[in-house]
Amino acid sequence: MKRLVVDMDGVLADVYSQFIKKHHEESGEWLSIDTMAGLYEGEVFPYARKHINTKGFFEDIPVMAHSQEVLAELIKHYKVYIVSAAMEFPLSLSEKQQWLDRHFPFISWRQRVFCGSKEIIRADIMIDDYLRNLDSFEGETYLFTQPHNSLIESDRHKRVKDWLEIKSILLP
Amino acid sequence: MKRLVVDMDGVLADVYSQFIKKHHEESGEWLSIDTMAGLYEGEVFPYARKHINTKGFFEDIPVMAHSQEVLAELIKHYKVYIVSAAMEFPLSLSEKQQWLDRHFPFISWRQRVFCGSKEIIRADIMIDDYLRNLDSFEGETYLFTQPHNSLIESDRHKRVKDWLEIKSILLP
């Protein structure tokens, strides 16, 4: 069984939607995701660092569309690991655990990894929205489309625009 | 620079000492570590699972002798990662972060990994007290002596009895 590493923020968890919501709560302003192509979260959301370091930010992040149903199928064909670069944000650790318990209860604690850097992760396939994680990975790589990476053209990593595209590629 | 993966419980953190102390607080009885050869923690300490799931267990675990001074030298010669199979015990995540911040402040969050299984960890050298972690690792392996593994003879993994021995082997 091939080992499949799946990122959390920006792949399973819809962080842009959460930032947009938190930005609205903070400022009363609704930002449109259509204006964010090619920009990192910190460039778009002036309170990004404050919000990400506030208790509760990771607790109710929306689930990425179709990720639950597709991942529930993928675990029948792959050894799936959720690997999140969570160490930078200490508050996030328990919130992320609880979020996975709630939305992905079929991914046990045995299949979860919280790390600082992903450069010591070994598996066959990786799905991630950040090039810095995919670049150091030795296996097959999929760049999950998010605003910040949407203008990048990569020869090395295949782009997937959503979970339905992952389904069509990785499931029989 | 070679990548060196160091386990936490039973290598940096002296869990047997902590179990002995917690057992004494629970029962008034002092257990001697000399009677524990070849036995897992759960076989020696009847309240092991209760204690490990109690808030505070990981907070004040004693630091393994000489681990701080040796690791402070090792980071000059290796890219060091602390990799702990912490996911089974959700309470432990933030306590372990704080414990590392306190006793190993020179190991940044970038060099820390909390996982369920270590089978997806890739590096050059691993120091661990559990065979199940060393067996799936592709690099050079060191079995750190703890009571539960003290009777095991392994051809595949080199045994190290303490941090001074690690120093003599891995430092110039």
- Residue A128 CA to residue B6 CA, distance in Å, equals 26
pLDDT for the residue numbered B121: 96
Percent of chain B with pLDDT over 70: 100
Mean pLDDT over residues B142-152, rounded?
97
CATH superfamily for domain B2-14+61-170: HAD superfamily/HAD-like (3.40.50.1000)
Judged by DSSP in three states, B134 sits in: helix
Contact B19, B44 (CB under 8 A): yes
pLDDT for the residue numbered A35: 92
Give the residue from B4, B7, B84, B117 with the most A CB atoms within 10 Å of its CB, the best one to mutate.
Answer: B117
Tens of pLDDT, residues A53-85: 999 999 999 999 999 999 999 999 999 999 999
pLDDT for the residue numbered A88: 87
Say which residue the tokens 């192509």 belong to. Answer: A37
pLDDT at A103 over 90: yes
Cβ contacts of A136-143, under 8 Å, gap ≥ 24: A137/A5, A138/B122, A142/A166, A142/A169
Interface of A with B (CB under 8 A): 3, 5, 81, 83, 87-88, 90, 93-94, 97, 108-117, 120-123, 138
Tens of pLDDT, residues A127-160: 999 999 999 999 999 999 999 999 999 999 999 9
pLDDT at A90 over 90: no
Give the residue from A2, A6, A8, A93 with the most B CB atoms within 10 Å of its CB, the best one to mutate.
Answer: A93
- The predicted model scores a pTM of 0.93
- Residue B156 CA to residue B148 CA, distance in Å, equals 18
Residues of B in contact with A110 (CB under 8 A): 87-88, 116-117
Q: Which residue of A lies nearest to B2 if distances are taken between CA atoms?
A: A120
CATH superfamily for domain A3-14+63-170: HAD superfamily/HAD-like (3.40.50.1000)
SS (H, E, C) A91-108: CHHHHHHHHHHHHCCCCC
pLDDT at B90 over 90: no
Q: Which residues of A are catalytic?
A: 7, 9
pLDDT for the residue numbered A74: 98
Q: Which amino acid is at B162?
A: D
| Residue environment code for B105-132, b if the CB has 16+ CB neighbours within 10 A, otherwise e | eebebebbbbbbbbbbbbbbbbbbbbbe
pLDDT for the residue numbered B89: 86
Helical (H) or strand (E) element with B48:
helix B48-52
Check B87 against A5: CB less than 8 A apart: no
- Residue A6 CA to residue A111 CA, distance in Å, equals 10
Mean pLDDT over residues A16-40, rounded?
95
| Nearest CB neighbour to A94, from listed B94, B108, B138 | B94
pLDDT at B136 over 90: yes
Percent of chain B with pLDDT over 90: 95
Listed by start position, the domains of chain A span 3-14+63-170, 15-52
pLDDT for the residue numbered A89: 86
Query: How many alpha carbons fall within 13 Å on the CB side of residue B157?
Result: 27
Tens of pLDDT, residues B62-80: 999 999 999 999 999 999 9
Interface of B with A (CB under 8 A): 3, 5, 81, 83, 87-88, 90, 93-94, 97, 108-117, 120-123, 138
Tens of pLDDT, residues B110-124: 999 999 999 999 999
